[in-house]
Amino acid sequence: MLHRRPPCDGPLFIVLNLRSGEHDGQDPVQAIEAVLREAGRPYELLKVERPDALKSTAARAVERARERQGVVVAAGGDGTINSVAQAVLDTGLPFGVLPQGTFNYFGRTHHIPLDAGEATRALLGAQPEPTQVGLVNDRIFLVNASLGLYPKLLEDREVFKRQYGRTRWVALWSGLVTLMRERRQLLLRIEHEGEARLVRTSTLFIGNNSLQLEQVGIPEAESLDQGRLVALSVKPVSSWAMLGLVLRGAVGRLGDADHVVSFDFRRMEVSPVVAPGRRARLKVATDGETTWMAAPLSFRVAPQPLWLLKPPRPQDGEAGPAAKTASSAA
């Protein structure tokens, strides 16, 4: 039943994270409501002002959508979209996105405009399409999951944003600072395709977003269309060498680097190598949000899709609103 295309003409229940991203002086609430009032579409706006209220607000939106055969919509960055999608996935309800974050990989991948008003108009004409979801144990990820250096980058980025503002330049600067001072390594036991091996790495990155993987030059990006995920690990290198890898990624050549190993898979188990008697836990980031998880970690594709409301794709050679904004956001 969950694999049947759900109806998408019911009322919209919009979970709006007021703390997400940059708005360039635009009030996203006014922009969203103006479009919906003009269209005459019933909606309910559920505003989130504190991060700890996001999960309960998403659950309330799902309950309301079930009662009225409606649509659950996430308005925020990739972390907000992840949290709301986590509540929606097992229900089979249609799921809409109004991107409001800093990088917005998920919205850009699916050609959803970044402007709040344009995204709302696109949502009204969108149709539900099955979309692949990654799982690490019982948590979903739509863009990526990671261990090691990447979660540290995300935590430091949040500290910088609280001090200096939620902009892309602040995010990039904080990333450079972390790269130059972080030297910890992980020793992991990785098992997939019936083989197990020990890997020492500063970071293990699992991708589920073709745009992000293609931008940095990972050749396995096309495997996502075949129901697989893509793993990327970095061999131990100096801080300066790591910076060089970042620059390679910026020009789309990370997959050519000698210190980078990438491969696609359907299922993979990961455990840290720890002393006997010690509790095996790993800090995991999923779509920008970090949490501690008990090992082993099982990475796989969710058995059911997320029914994402996608606007029509631009014709070849035609740059739609999302594509135009994406080029300036990259």
CATH of the domain at 234: 2.60.200.40
Residue 321 has pLDDT above 70, yes or no: no
Has residue 2 been placed in a domain? no
Q: What are phi and psi of 131, to 5 degrees?
A: -130, 135
Domain co-membership, 309 together with 288: no
Which of the pair, 163 or 8, is modelled with greater confidence?
Answer: 8
Which of these, 325, 327, 314, lies nearest to 118 by C-alpha position?
325
Cα–Cα distance between 302 and 62 in angstroms, integer? 19
Domain co-membership, 278 together with 226: yes
Q: Which domain holds residue 321?
A: 12-132+304-329
Domain co-membership, 199 together with 113: no
Return the pLDDT at 301: 97
Report pLDDT digits (tens) over 188-215. Answer: 999 998 899 999 998 899 999 999 999 8
Domain co-membership, 291 together with 315: no
Has residue 4 been placed in a domain? no
Residue 262 has pLDDT above 90, yes or no: yes
Confidence of residue 93 (pLDDT cuts 50, 70, 90): very high
Residue 285 region, left (φ>0) first, then alpha (ψ -120 to 50), else beta?
Answer: beta
Has residue 145 been placed in a domain? yes
Domain co-membership, 263 together with 218: yes
Please compute the mean of the pLDDT values over residues 13-37 and round it to a whole number: 83
In contact, 111 and 320? CB cutoff 8 Å:
yes
Domain co-membership, 89 together with 60: yes
Report pLDDT digits (tens) over 270-285. Answer: 999 987 777 789 999 9
Has residue 88 been placed in a domain? yes
Cα–Cα distance between 300 and 231 in angstroms, integer? 11
- Using N-to-C axis directions, what is the helix angle for 116-124 and 28-39, rounded to 10°? 30
How many domains, the chain?
2
Domain co-membership, 290 together with 311: no
Domain co-membership, 243 together with 315: no
Residue 302 CA: distances (Å) to CA of 30, 130, 132, 238, 307 = 36, 12, 7, 36, 13
Domain co-membership, 295 together with 312: no
Distance from chain centroid for Cα 276:
35
pTM: 0.83
Domain co-membership, 106 together with 223: no
Residue 26 has pLDDT above 90, yes or no: no
Domain co-membership, 318 together with 206: no
In contact, 56 and 265? CB cutoff 8 Å:
no
Which of the pair, 166 or 225, is modelled with greater confidence?
Answer: 225
Domain co-membership, 170 together with 269: yes
